Amino acid sequence: MEEKAPSTPKADATSVEDGRAASPRYGFASQAKESCSALSRLTLELWRRIRLEVVVEWPLLKQRWRILLFGLIMQYVHGIFTQLAHRMHQPQEEPLHDVGFDLTPELGPEQHWVSETIFGIAFATFVLWTFTPFVTQRKRFYTAVMWSRLLMVLVVCQALRIVTFSVTQLPGPSFHCRASEPTARREWPSHWTGHVFIDVGRQMSKSCGDLIFSSHTTFMLTGILAYNEYGSLAFMKALSWLMGVIISILIVASRKHYTVDVVIAWYTVPLVFYTM
């Protein structure tokens, strides 16, 4: 009879590794280890890019911090005047006649959130995109330079807006600005310091009187024009204009603004953007 050759340690190790590889538990652990390793490499690469971009952006930020600060202060000043416009607001039972109102059904209180939600998502997406130089290899702009320009565009547009809605008060077309609604009027403060404090929540959801021209459309068009100048994807550029048209229609349908408010913004903002 033939005797079997004794197994060697190398052969035993090979058989054990084969057995482990065939084991589902071992395969899962191996995949998890590879995934963690890939995630670690990606995190380190992302951190490296962020650090390099900070080194590049920091000198630009130091050159433009006054512009950025002035633009942020203007947002506060704009809030003071929109609050003042609400106090000067003279509500009516029905809004003025508007062709846009004739062509679009009113969304009403139940669907009032639709335009705000779409606008909020679009605005948040744009803000995130402006910081893509920190995480991507391809770079078409510097974040500090872009925001200094965009804030100056907003400053000029908001200054024009303050003048227009302050000299002419239109009755608010929204459901909460009708004469029968308590939110249509806002009491005057007993002291001038009352004008300094802004009720941000009320101004964002229940403001009246600051109509000409549309602030939502101003922010939206500033973002669209910025992406069309600095962005790289043709599809996204076309989509941004389509979203701009849809949001403009929803603004009118929700009765946040008269059609004239949106139309004026559509030709004012591009004029200011390409002048700055």
Contact assessment for residue 57 and residue 143, using Cβ atoms and an 8 Å cutoff: yes
**Is position 216 annotated as part of the catalytic site?**
yes
**Is position 78 annotated as part of the catalytic site?**
no
- Residue 59 has, within 13 A of its CA and on its CB side, a CA count of 3
How buried is residue 110: exposed, middle or buried, by Cβ count under 10 Å (0-12/13-18/19+)? exposed
d(CA 104, CA 85): 26
What Cα–Cα distance (Å) separates residue 92 from each residue in 30, 176, 184, 239, 259?
Answer: 70, 11, 9, 38, 18
Written as six digits, the tokens of 235 are 């599809």
Chain-centroid distance, C-alpha 29: 41
Written as six digits, the tokens of 203 are 């101004």
Q: What 3-state class would DSSP assign to 5?
A: coil
DSSP symbol at 184: G
Residues designated as active site: 216, 257, 261
